[in-house]
Chains A and B, each alone.
Chain A
């Protein structure tokens, strides 16, 4: 049975809060969605619901951090990256505060909430904030691990968090590091740099099926979008014949752009196939429908690879 990513996030926060009385949670009326109701039952005083007011949530988080607290503020990725952007940029990052902003429902996982709630642009927007840490866990184990890591690292960070059920990719004792990606399937014919919970799983499914056809696909779980694991990107560029970037957001300004920048800086002229959102808005639908519609599902991945 798949575990909920949000519960992994909330449990990790509870564990941190038990040993660090500076951990606080801020919410903007989405506590049920982001999973922090369990945090509230154990730490009611350290759970601050500001109502439907994301700008103030991030501004207050900045103030709390200036006074020594470690605030985790969560809302849907659309509101995190668009509605509260200036607050996160100025009161947070520019002020060198210590705000952890969690944007849930990344890309097509917003499903039935549709285009108004479907962040395809949050990654690109956040990447433009200097020195910001951006992580996107791929399973409940990494969601918990990165929550712990962000709690311990001073500075503003954006965590793009799928909140629903996901099978584990990693065992409980796996260790993670901010800025380090992981190879989750080995192969040298094709390398997929995959970002985010749903897409890393799709990439793994595609790799496992293609293996039966004799095609060896390497899947790299990117995990940290910024700072990107340059060493891993360069290693894979050298070792693998074809390169794909796979992301649940606009490819322009996203992972694809970052990989191209690293290639260019290192005089690598390899072609990169960009799988992701190509200058489109979101829409309603089931997750399966949307994955197919935007060509992000395992069948679309396999088709691209078979055509190499």
Chain B
């Protein structure tokens, strides 16, 4: 069933709030992974509003769906999502990456409520997600396991080891996204080390694979709904996204947005101009 207009409005508003808080917490620190955080905001908005079963009062609830954010440097977007959903106090966001914080630059399951897996060394998250998915298969539990990897991250060989294992073991409870923002630190992904055709690659590895617009909620909803109905195959959703989406001319579609300087005043200015306040 298609998304209702009211649902879509909620998703759009939440994504805008995620982007705002992401810019504010990075602005408070002065530097951070802006581009890859903003590109996944819509996916996170959907997952934490509609896609995943979670309980903000009980982050380690056994019945929850899991998320492994394998591109762990996009932590600020996930922290903003979790804070806005009440997993922890909004005040924590201003402690991002400061000494002693519970919100380190890369996701850490031992520190942050709602973070299911420690990530940051690229290429490892999909294996961990496959392990979690396999665990729930062994226990005959219905939980879904979501993962988000990057297009640049897809260059790591471990992803393809996990790809083979997840299809071999029929992990249809595993639903992964590739945040295909087409940029990595050294330039455009196609120039650094081309990874396309991603749909063909994942299909060849035995996955259900589909390409969507990663900023279109109808697309995301259709892909996730279909993924949940798969029988015997894990799903990879290639989400075409824009790096730095919502970050204005300075960050949107800019390779330099990967890890960039930003003051709090500049963050507020961008929020006013690019995100309508």
Among the listed A46, A50, A66, A71, which residue makes an inter-chain contact with B117, where contact means beta carbons less than 8 Å apart?
A66
Whether A60 contacts B128 by the Cβ 8 Å rule is yes
Among A45, A63, A90, max chain B CB count under 10 A is at A63
Whether B127 contacts A91 by the Cβ 8 Å rule is yes
Residues in B with CB closer than 8 Å to A87 are 124, 127, 158
Q: Does A95 contact B (CB under 8 A)?
A: yes
Pull 26 A–B residue pairs with CB atoms less than 8 Å apart, ordered by A.
Answer: A48-B134, A51-B164, A51-B165, A55-B161, A56-B127, A56-B158, A59-B124, A59-B128, A59-B130, A60-B128, A62-B127, A62-B128, A62-B131, A64-B131, A65-B131, A66-B116, A67-B66, A67-B131, A67-B132, A68-B135, A71-B131, A87-B127, A90-B121, A95-B108, A95-B117, A95-B118
Give CA–CA (A68, B62) in the complex, Å. 10
Give CA–CA (A45, B162) in the complex, Å. 18
Residues in B with CB closer than 8 Å to A68 are 135, 139
Among the listed A24, A46, A63, which residue makes an inter-chain contact with B130, where contact means beta carbons less than 8 Å apart?
A63
Whether A63 contacts B127 by the Cβ 8 Å rule is yes
| Shortest 5 CB-CB contacts between residues of A and residues of B | A63-B131, A59-B127, A67-B135, A95-B118, A56-B161
Give CA–CA (A96, B115) in the complex, Å. 13
CB < 8 Å A-B pair total? 104
| CB contact list, B219-275 vs A, under 8 A | none
Among A45, A51, A64, A67, max chain B CB count under 10 A is at A67
Residues in A with CB closer than 8 Å to B162 are 56, 59-60
Q: Does B129 contact A (CB under 8 A)?
A: yes
Whether B110 contacts A60 by the Cβ 8 Å rule is no
Whether A66 contacts B124 by the Cβ 8 Å rule is no
Give CA–CA (A266, B57) in the complex, Å. 49
- The residue on A at minimum CB distance from B62 is A68
- The residue on A at minimum CB distance from B143 is A67
Q: Does A294 contact B (CB under 8 A)?
A: no
Contact A60:B118 (CB < 8 A) given known A51-B165, A95-B109: no
Q: Does B136 contact A (CB under 8 A)?
A: yes
Contact A90:B135 (CB < 8 A) given known A63-B128, A63-B130: no
Q: Does A150 contact B (CB under 8 A)?
A: no
Whether B135 contacts A95 by the Cβ 8 Å rule is no
Residues in B with CB closer than 8 Å to A51 are 164-165, 168
Main SS at interface, chain A: helix
| CB contact list, B38-78 vs A, under 8 A | 66, 68
Whether B138 contacts A91 by the Cβ 8 Å rule is no
Whether B127 contacts A66 by the Cβ 8 Å rule is no
- The residue on B at minimum CB distance from A64 is B131
Q: Does B120 contact A (CB under 8 A)?
A: yes
- The residue on B at minimum CB distance from A26 is B131
Whether B158 contacts A69 by the Cβ 8 Å rule is no
Q: Does A241 contact B (CB under 8 A)?
A: no
Contact with B along A253-277 (1 / 0, CB 8 A): 0000000000000000000000000
Whether A60 contacts B138 by the Cβ 8 Å rule is no
Taking the closest CB of chain A, its distance from the CB of B184, in whole angstroms, is 19
Among the listed B128, B164, B165, B169, which residue makes an inter-chain contact with A91, where contact means beta carbons less than 8 Å apart?
B128
Given A62-B131, A66-B116, A66-B128, output 13 extra A-B contacts at Cβ < 8 Å: A24-B138, A46-B138, A51-B168, A53-B161, A55-B123, A56-B164, A59-B131, A63-B127, A64-B135, A69-B138, A87-B124, A91-B118, A95-B117
Whether B121 contacts A86 by the Cβ 8 Å rule is yes
Residues in B with CB closer than 8 Å to A60 are 127-128, 130-131, 134, 162, 165
Residues in B with CB closer than 8 Å to A67 are 66, 131-132, 135-136, 139
Contact A63:B134 (CB < 8 A) given known A90-B124, A91-B128: yes
Taking the closest CB of chain A, its distance from the CB of B163, in whole angstroms, is 9
Residues in A with CB closer than 8 Å to B118 are 90-91, 94-95
